[in-house]
Amino acid sequence: MKNGGRLGAALLALCLLLCGCACGAAQREGAASAAEAVGRAARPAPTPAPAREAAVGSVPRTTPEPTPAPTPTPAPEALLLQNMTLEEKVGQMFFVRCPETDGAAMVAQYQPGGILLFSRDFEGLSREQAAETIAAYQREAKIGLLVGVDEEGGDVVRASDNPLLSEAPYRSMRALYAEGGTALLCAAEAEKCRMLRGLGVNVNFAPVCDISDDPAAFMYARSLGLPPAETAAAIGEVVATYEAENVGTVLKHFPGYGNAADSHAGVVYDDRDLAAFEGGAFLPFKAGIDAGADCVLVTHNIVPCVDGEAPASLSAAWHAVLRDTLGFAGVIITDDLSMGGVTDYTDGASAAVAAVLAGNDMLCCTDFETQISAVLRAVEDGTISEARIDESVLRILRWKLERGIIAAQTE
C-alpha cells in the first residue's frame, strides 16, 4: 500500500513537471509572437509613390500625327496648260507664215503659237497701220502671239525694207562689225529692237550664228565673217542687247551652216567631222545660250557626223546634242518645213509629225493647215503622246510669260 502510494505520487509529480514545461514554452512562443507583432506595428508602412497629377487643361498623351508636306504651287505655265484643249496645245506649237489676206481670221481659227511676217506684210503700211494690223492679230489670239520677223540686216530684211517704217534697211552684222566692232553692232541692234517692238513684233529670227569663210557660200554674207571665238563673243553681246530691249532672239542655223549649199532648194549634206563643230561651229550658239537666248532654229542640212540619215531638223540625235551637250533648255524650232531640204526628204503631211518626234517645240511652216491636222491625228492614233505635246507647250508658254506676252493666272 505504501509502495503504491509512493508510485502514484511520483507519477503525479512527473505530470506536473511536464505540464509546467509545456506552459513555459507556450508562454515564450506567445511572447515572441507578441514581440514580432509589436515590431511590425512599430515599423512605418512604406510610403506609396505619389500619383502623377495631370496638368491643368492637359489632354491625354497621344502619338502626334505627322505634319503633311505642303503642296507645291504649280508653275504659271503649268496652270495655263491644264486648262487647254488638245487643239489649243497643238496650235501653240506652230509658228505660221502670215497669209496674204485675212490674217486675223486665220489666227481666230487655228490659234497658232506664233505668226511670222514677211516684207509683203509690211508693204505700204505706216507705223500706225502696221501696229494696228499686228494688234488685230493679237486680239484674235486666246493666248498671246509670238510675232516674228527675219530682220537680220543686209540681204535679209522685212520691216525695214519699208521706207515708211525705217529710213533705210538695216545693215548686215558683217558690215556693222567691220566698221565699228561690237559697239556699233549692238547699237544698231538696240535701235532695231525698239523699232520692232513699237510695231508689236516681239521676236526677231536672229542673230545668225553661222561661221562661213567662203565668199561663194550661201551663208557667207549673212555671217559675221569672224573666227569662232570672236563670233561667239559678238553673238553673246548681241543677245544681251536683245535681252535688255525685251525682244526675243532665235539663234540660227544649228548645228552651224558653214559653207553648205542652200537648203531651200533641196537636200544638203554637210560632211564636216564632229571636232569641227565642237571646236568651232558650236561656240557662237553656246555663247548665245549662255547670254539668255530664247530659241534655237535647227537647219534642214543632213550632217552625218551625228546623223547621216535625217536632216538635223528631223534628227533626235542632233536635238540631243543641243539639249545635252550645249545645255539648251529653251524652245527649239525648225526652219520652214516647206523648204526643199524637207520636202525632198519626206512627204508634206508627215514632216511636222517627224519634227515633233525628233524633239522640236515649234514648227515653222507655210502649209500649217496640213501640218496641224497631221499632228492632231498623230496624237489621236498614239504616234505622238500628249505628254510629248505638253513638254513643248510648257516651254512655249514659259517663253511667253518671261517676255510679258501673256500673264500668269491664279489657281
Spatial separation of the C-alpha atoms in residues 162 and 140, rounded to whole Å = 26
Spatial separation of the C-alpha atoms in residues 28 and 55, rounded to whole Å = 56
Spatial separation of the C-alpha atoms in residues 353 and 313, rounded to whole Å = 12
Give me the catalytic one of 121, 150, 294, 335: 335
Active site residue 319: no
How far CA 52 is from CA of 46, 48, 55, 56, 116, in Å, comes to 18, 12, 9, 12, 81
Question: How many residues are recorded in the chain?
Answer: 411
Spatial separation of the C-alpha atoms in residues 156 and 175, rounded to whole Å = 13
Task: Return the SS3 of 96.
Answer: strand
Give me the catalytic one of 264, 290, 344, 390: 264
Spatial separation of the C-alpha atoms in residues 359 and 323, rounded to whole Å = 10
Spatial separation of the C-alpha atoms in residues 89 and 111, rounded to whole Å = 9
Burial class (CB in 10 A: 0-12, 13-18, 19+), 126: exposed
Active site residue 264: yes
Spatial separation of the C-alpha atoms in residues 376 and 95, rounded to whole Å = 16
Q: Specify the DSSP class assigned to residue 281.
A: I
Known catalytic residues are 264, 335
